[in-house]
Amino acid sequence: MAGYTEDEKYMQRCIDLAIQGKGLVAPNPMVGALLVNNHAIVGEGFHQGFGEAHAEANAINNVTSPDLLKKAVLYVNLEPCSHQGKTPPCANLIISMGIPKIVIGTPDPNKLVDGSGIALLREKGINVVTGILENECKALNKRFFTWHLYNRPYIILKWARSADGFIDFDRPADAPVGPNWITSQTARILVHKWRSEEQAILVGTNTVIKDNPRLNIRDWAGKNPLRVIIDRELKLGSHYNVFDNTQKTLVFTQKEPAGSGPGPREFPEKTVVPETGNTERSYASIVFDDTAELQMLECLYRQNIQSIIIEGGAYTLNRFIEKGLWDEARIFTGPVLFRRGIRSPEITGNSFTTREIGNSQLQVIYNR
C-alpha cells in the first residue's frame, strides 16, 4: 500500500474485511472493523450475515484482553449505528468499552443513523476522525448508498453479444428452447457469482419463452436472488423453470392471477414477497405505461431490495437504458458470428474497464 498513510492502510484493511460479507448481509451494508493498539492490530471482524453481530462487535470480541481497548483506535468503514435494530447499537458498545478514538470511512446515509452515531460518540468525549478513504468506502457499499439516497435498487445491466453485435440470431418457429451461448463456461460461472452478490434478477417474458432460464446460482455457492419476471399478460405457464418453486419469484403484471381476487393498483407498504419460506410466487400489479420501470423499482424499493441485475432481453434492457435507469452495465463480447438477428443494446457511460474472461471480452460501463 505504497503512498497510504497509516489511517488509510488500516481503512483499506476494513474494506478488505467488509467485502467478505458480499451477498450475505443485504439489506445491511458491508462493514469491516479493526482495533489498533501501539501500531499493531489487536482485533478485527466483519459483518458476516444479515441479523448477525455487526463488525464493531466482532472486532471487539476478538481482542484478547479488554485492557487493550482503553488505548486502542477503532477503524470502521461506515459510521457505527446508534439505534436498536436486530442487534444493539454499536455506538453504545464502543462507549461502554472505553475506546478513546475511532476512525470512520464514511457517514451512514440511513435516516436512522445519518450522523447520529458520530454525534453520540463525540458527545461522550471520543475522538472521532472521518473521511478516510471515503470514496472507496462509498464504492464498497454503492448498493446501500443508492437505495438510501435515491430510493431505488442499484441497477446492473448484463448481456452477451456476438463479435458482430447481436445478442441472438433469428430463431425459426421450430427452434429448440434454450439459451444461445455466446460466451464460455468461465464467463457463465462468473455470471452465477454475480447473481449470488445481488438481491434480485430480472428478465422479460420473451427471455423466459426463448431461453427458459433458471436464474439461479447453480455454478456458484451462495444465496439465490429473488427472481423478478415481467409477464404483462400472464402468458407464462408453470412449466417454465422460473416457476419451479426452488426460490422466491415475483411477477410484474397488469392482470390478476386466476383465483387471486381483485388486487390493488397501489403497492402495499409492506413487502409483496413473504419474508419466510423459499417457494413463494408473488404478483405485483402495475400499469404498463411509460412509467412501468419506475413502478417496478418503487415496488422493489419497498421490499428492501437494494440491488438488481437485469439480464434481458433486448427490449427490457433498452427500456431501462432509454430512461437512464441503470448504474452499471456488464457486457460480454464473444467470438461467435451471428451475421443477423437481434441487435445488441447500445450504451455509453463516463468510465469503463475491459478484461478478458475465457474466450470473451468483458466491458464494464458506469452511468455518468
Residue numbers annotated as active site: 56
Find all residues with CB under 8 Å of 160, minimum gap 6, and list them.
167, 182, 183, 187, 331, 332, 333, 334, 360
Q: How far is CA 328 from CA 91, 275, 277, in A?
A: 34, 28, 31
Expressed in angstroms, the distance from the first to the final Cα of the chain is 29
How many residues make up the chain in this entry?
368
Cα–Cα–Cα angle for 254, 328, 185, rounded to 5 degrees: 90
The letter for the amino acid at 81 is C
- Preceding peptide of 334 cis, ω within 30°: no
Rounded to whole angstroms, the Cα distance separating 43 from 324 reads 44
Find all residues with CB under 8 Å of 195, minimum gap 6, and list them.
201, 215, 216, 217, 220, 224, 225, 309
Q: Which of 137, 146, 139 is nearest to 55 (CA)?
A: 137
Tell how strand 154-161 and strand 101-106 pair up.
unpaired
- Residue whose entry in the numeric block shows the C-alpha cell 478516510: 132
Classify burial at 245, counting beta carbons within 10 Å of its beta carbon; exposed 0-12, middle 13-18, buried 19 or more.
exposed
- Could you please report the per-residue DSSP string of 282-338? EEEE---STTHHHHHHHHHHHTT--EEEE---HHHHHHHHHTT--SEEEEEE-S---
Please state at what angle helix 292-302 crosses helix 314-322, rounded to 10 degrees. 90
